[in-house]
Amino acid sequence: MPETIRAAVMTAPRAALEIRAFPAPRPAPGGAVLQTLLSEVCGTDVHLHHGRLAGVPYPIIPGHVSCGRVLETGGSLNDVEGRPITTGQLVTFYDVFGTCGACWHCLVARAATRCPHRRVYGITTSARDGVLGGWAERIEILPGVRLLPLPDGVDPLAFMGGGCGLGTGLHAVERAQVALGDTVVVQGSGPVGLNAAVFAALSGAASVLVIGAPAPRLAVAREMDVDETLDLADAPAPADRVVWVRARTAGRGADAVIEATGNPQAVPEGLEMLRDAGRYVIVGQYTDAGDATINPHRHVNRRHATVLGCWGYEFTHFHRAIALLARHDRRLGWRRLVSRQYPLDRAGEALAAMAALEVVKAVFRP
């Protein structure tokens, strides 16, 4: 065993990423150590680098969703089915931990993603506390973190193509209560939007429409069960995009609209695309990008709209999304979301490509 491993460290917002050596992690009782196979670069990492998230304990090792092989465990561990976790097994893990199961949010509101004790690998974990992020040659799995074996036959690159968008996208579709025969509009063609679109189609939507940019992301959408896409470049005026949706819904608007853009102005626009008594889910406003003005009478009250937020995802969403990936990847090919693979020492380049939307998703192969 080497004494040290390498990890990419985000020392502060806007600072160049550094490759640093860390003591090779050892598992605590009930924990494990993974040999990292792949870890994702996603929009959240760009936000982290731009300092757009509050309370991030820089320096951090980014990388929340990752997969790897079990190198060592601290005693016997089981997966959620009660099957033993074995050395060498290909696993991922639910990146959220510390959710207490004892507070008001957990027990009374049953809103575990709002538990104040909740922590996330690669986001709220400091590099001072260990190798708790995926942009590293090894990852320390703390006791209580849920390991999840990748089902047989699942291509690790396909899994990473879904990445954190798997759980988030499934959660958003669940919130939207997509029903058989629905028309669903997804605003945004990043990984969350693409996964939401795929899960809307798998939920039995008769038509899934994606509005986004740039063109290569929309091409991926059309290869993955999305019926039609609209490029923002071809319809720069919001009113034209509303007309486009209404033209495809007998003038009524969509049964459900899922916002996955990060742009506050998408919200009033998306509400205009919604039919009377439709469901609108906001999942793309992960950072505070500012305010938007809606007309409460026209957009919500008279429309009899249901407007829902969607924060993070729970283990159930991640687990079920991976089961769907295992079932449908042969046909849908989540692998196509991975535009580029990088070694760790090109972390800055990977982040820049993500920020410039040059890639749908990038991954590290440490």
Cβ distance 19 to 62 under 8 Å? no
Structure tokens at 76: 């016997």
Q: Is 31 or 190 the residue whose CB approaches Zn ion more closely?
A: 190
Selected range binding Zn ion among 27-35, 111-119, 312-320, 344-352, rule: CB under 5 A = 111-119
Query: Residue 352: CB partners within 8 Å, gap ≥ 6?
Result: none
Query: Residue 304: CB partners within 8 Å, gap ≥ 6?
Result: 276, 277
Cβ distance 61 to 122 under 8 Å? yes
At 12, give phi and psi (nearest 5°).
-165, 160
CA distance readout (Å), 282 to 168, 187, 221: 11, 10, 20
Assess 106 for contact with Zn ion (CB under 5 A): yes
Q: Is 88 or 101 the residue whose CB approaches Zn ion more closely?
A: 101
Q: Is 27 or 163 the residue whose CB approaches Zn ion more closely?
A: 163
Selected range binding Zn ion among 96-104, 179-187, 287-295, 348-356, rule: CB under 5 A = 96-104
The distance of closest approach from Cβ of residue 90 to Zn ion in the complex, given in angstroms and rounded to an integer, is 20
Distance CA 171, CA 107 (A): 20
315-332 and 191-202 helices, crossing angle to 10°: 80
Q: Is 118 or 279 the residue whose CB approaches Zn ion more closely?
A: 118
The distance of closest approach from Cβ of residue 123 to Zn ion in the complex, given in angstroms and rounded to an integer, is 9
Q: Is 100 or 323 the residue whose CB approaches Zn ion more closely?
A: 100
Distance CA 121, CA 135 (A): 11
Q: Is 24 or 103 the residue whose CB approaches Zn ion more closely?
A: 103
DSSP-derived 3-state class of residue 69: strand
Assess 360 for contact with Zn ion (CB under 5 A): no
**Residues numbered 249-308 forming contacts with Zn ion, rule: CB under 5 A:** none
Assess 100 for contact with Zn ion (CB under 5 A): yes
Assess 124 for contact with Zn ion (CB under 5 A): no
Structure tokens at 233: 């470049």
Which residue in this structure is represented by tokens 């440490």? 366
Structure tokens at 183: 């028309």
Assess 15 for contact with Zn ion (CB under 5 A): no
Q: Is 106 or 258 the residue whose CB approaches Zn ion more closely?
A: 106
The distance of closest approach from Cβ of residue 117 to Zn ion in the complex, given in angstroms and rounded to an integer, is 5
Distance CA 101, CA 110 (A): 9
Assess 28 for contact with Zn ion (CB under 5 A): no
Applying CB under 5 A, which of residues 9, 71, 115, 266 lies at the interface with Zn ion? Answer: 115
Applying CB under 5 A, which of residues 15, 28, 103, 235 lies at the interface with Zn ion? Answer: 103
**Residues numbered 143-182 forming contacts with Zn ion, rule: CB under 5 A:** 164
**Residues numbered 37-56 forming contacts with Zn ion, rule: CB under 5 A:** 42, 44
The distance of closest approach from Cβ of residue 75 to Zn ion in the complex, given in angstroms and rounded to an integer, is 26
Assess 211 for contact with Zn ion (CB under 5 A): no
Q: Is 115 or 185 the residue whose CB approaches Zn ion more closely?
A: 115
**Residues numbered 126-145 forming contacts with Zn ion, rule: CB under 5 A:** none
Nearest by Cα to 344 from 137, 99, 96, 116: 137
Query: Residue 227: CB partners within 8 Å, gap ≥ 6?
Result: 207, 208, 209
Binding site for Zn ion (CB under 5 A): 42, 44, 100, 103, 106, 115, 164
